[in-house]
Amino acid sequence: MGPTGEVVGVDMTDEQLAVAEKHRAFHADAFGYSNVRFLHGYIERLDELDLEPGSFDVIVSNCVVNLSPDKDAVLCGV
């Protein structure tokens, strides 16, 4: 990430977004970067989040596909 990059977290639940926001300041202090944002959205509908196509170097999805109600749509976007 570094000072010119950005980390974008996406979650479909307000509860997890609240947890992420709660820990934002701690991680900014610990790692020295605050260029992080969290968005409410669904992995099968990332096109609705106004994210710049081709602007991500790495995408990490940890135990998320199994929670998606439309797994076919998720896997078609890969």
How big is the chain, counted in residues? 78
Question: Residue-wise over 46-55: b if at least 16 C-beta within 10 A, else e?
Answer: beeeeeeeee
- On the question of pLDDT at 78 being above 60, the answer is no
Tell me what the mean pLDDT of segment 11-24 comes to: 95
Q: Where are the domains of the chain?
A: 7-76
- On the question of pLDDT at 75 being above 60, the answer is yes
The CA distance from 54 to 1, in Å, is: 16
Rounded to two decimals, the pTM is 0.80
Tell me what the mean pLDDT of segment 34-52 comes to: 91
